[in-house]
Amino acid sequence: MVIRRVLAPRIDFGALRRELGLPEGFPAAAQREADAAAAAPPRPAVDRTDIPFVTVDPAGSRDLDQAMHLARRVGGGYRVSYAIADVAAHVRPGGALEEETWRRGQTVYLPDGTVPLHPETLSEGAASLLPEVDRAAVVWTVDLDSEGGTVGVELERALVRSRAQLDYAGVQVAADAGRLPDPIALLPEIGALLTARGLRRGAINLPLPEQDVEADGDGWRLVLRGPVPMEEHNAQISLLTGMAAAEIMLAGGVGLLRTMPAPKPEAVARLRAAAAPLGVHWPEGAGPGEVLAGLDPSQPRAAAFVDQAAELMRGAAYTAFDGAPPEQREHGGVAAAYAHVTAPLRRLADRYATEVCLALHEGRPVPDWARAALPRLPEVMATTDRVASAASRGAIELAEAVLLRHRVGETFDAAVLDADAVPEGKPRPGRRPGGTVALDDPPVRARCLGELPLGERVRVRLVTADPATRSVAFERA
């Protein structure tokens, strides 16, 4: 659901691309390898084109990593069939294309176009799970009991065929009307079961609205969207697969996990202390994830509480191991061991983790090229995560500055999301108090100086809007 959208004039994102050193195209040798792979796509021996998979992605997406089919099992429970694009079947180990993907690490998304991990002939063509064409995939089959517990996992290379390309908004409309397509008719039921299991484990999901910049004719829209239930249900299928992958790798003694420490007790205590002043009910015995799951982030006090909860989600990393399992093996947000394997078109690590899982599941040695890559992946992924985050953040900051540059001196209604902590109640000499505010209209989030009551609405005055530095700042009016 779109909460708010505001039209911005023409914006040049070229400077941001240059600042981040984003590549403009692929080296000729890498492009030739991709084109050759696309011209002669792999055809796995196992044929699963009888399974009517469908994809669910943001509208207009072409790099389709995942397709799903959900069914009831005879005797009770569910069968989740999840097809993941088999990127490793298209990329030759040791070749120019593999080398270039290591330089990029992941796809970077900008409003004026993506900087893809793989050439478009693969990422939006021969390797993408587009509808009504045969594609090579790694198919995960996860059997669940009636409570959503995993009772069996299989995976194999197979030929698949997606029947339809669906988008989140359309799927939500269909779900609300009770008209979901058969392949995903069970998604709300299974998603709710998996979410409930996660909350009981202690999983934490921050229901943050998504801010984005979209093209609108000759200009751009600054958009703020709230999460819709079907997005969360869809994410649960990916989490389920990632947990299954982690268990395979831990049992096999080699792999690559996505890890994060569990929330520190003192951070949970601070969040609990913030609940009552913000009007958030924290039931006795409930975990942070359960409290967050019941909030409406469109309300300013709830939004401030969610912003405070971000402190719980610190220290995410990729952790490689070969032999003894790592000391930190779980992801605090998932409250379980977890791995990235469901987005190989967009993330480098997924290709190698998937190959490890296939080998371990089939009882054969992990290929040398995949095993040797594991210890190098955490640094590459951490570096490119920072670049991707900087690109997303920079694009939004630029759009905000362009949108507001002629409105310096105006006042706006805003909600206080965060207020600076004052050590032991003593302000620092020469430092003005402040915090973070979210404007009601336009949908801008920025630094604001002044005494700010957390979770309350205030009037703020725009004092800076500079596209050259991508900076926006307010002061309390």
One domain for residues 133 and 185: yes
Tokens 């420490």 — which residue?
Answer: 261
One domain for residues 325 and 217: yes
Q: Tell me the longest C-alpha to C-alpha distance in the chain.
A: 71
Residue 74, number of CB atoms within 10 A of its CB: 7
β-bridge pairing 471-476 and 445-449: parallel
Residue 426, number of CB atoms within 10 A of its CB: 7
Backbone angles phi, psi at 213, to 5 degrees: -120, 125
Which residues lie closer than 8 Å to 465 by C-beta, 6 or more apart? 400, 401, 403, 404, 405, 407, 408, 471, 472
Q: How far apart are CA 257 and CA 317, in angstroms?
A: 8
One domain for residues 242 and 339: yes
Residue 293, number of CB atoms within 10 A of its CB: 18
Which burial class, exposed, middle or buried, applies to 284 when counting CB atoms under 10 A from its CB (0-12, 13-18, 19+)? exposed
Strand order in the sheet with 210-216: 2-8, 219-225, 210-216
One domain for residues 246 and 132: yes
Q: How far apart are CA 178 and CA 181, in angstroms?
A: 9
Q: Which string of b and e fits 126-165 if b means at least 16 CB within 10 Å? A: bbbbbeeeebbbbbbbbebeeebebeebebbbbbbbbbeb
Answer for the pair 457, 438: CB distance below 8 angstroms, yes or no: no
One domain for residues 385 and 410: no
One domain for residues 361 and 456: no
One domain for residues 248 and 159: yes
Answer for the pair 461, 475: CB distance below 8 angstroms, yes or no: yes
Answer for the pair 43, 159: CB distance below 8 angstroms, yes or no: yes
Nearest CA to 51 among 147, 190, 156, 177? Answer: 156
| Structural domain of 438 | 406-476
Residue 456, number of CB atoms within 10 A of its CB: 14
Question: What six digits make up the tokens of 16?
Answer: 């941001």
Question: Which of 366, 399, 432 delimits the end of a domain?
Answer: 399
Q: Which CATH number characterizes residue 411's domain?
A: 2.40.50.140
Question: Which of 380, 399, 418 delimits the end of a domain?
Answer: 399
One domain for residues 139 and 270: no
Q: How many domains does the chain divide into?
A: 3
One domain for residues 356 and 443: no
Question: What six digits make up the tokens of 266?
Answer: 């003192």
One domain for residues 78 and 218: yes
One domain for residues 163 and 301: no
Question: Which of 369, 399, 429 delimits the end of a domain?
Answer: 399
One domain for residues 296 and 339: no
Could you read off the pLDDT tens digit of each residue along the chain, which spans 477 residues?
A: 444 555 666 788 999 999 999 999 999 999 999 999 999 999 999 999 999 999 999 999 999 999 999 999 999 999 999 999 999 999 999 999 999 999 999 999 999 999 999 999 999 999 999 999 999 999 999 999 999 999 999 999 999 999 999 999 999 999 999 999 999 999 999 999 999 999 999 999 998 888 888 888 878 888 887 778 999 999 999 999 999 999 999 999 999 999 999 999 999 999 999 999 899 999 999 999 999 999 988 888 898 999 999 999 999 999 999 999 999 999 999 999 999 999 999 999 999 999 999 999 999 999 999 999 999 999 999 999 999 999 999 999 999 999 999 999 999 999 999 998 765 556 566 678 999 999 988 889 999 999 999 999 999 999 999 999 999 999 999
Where is 359: in which H helix or E strand? helix 348-362
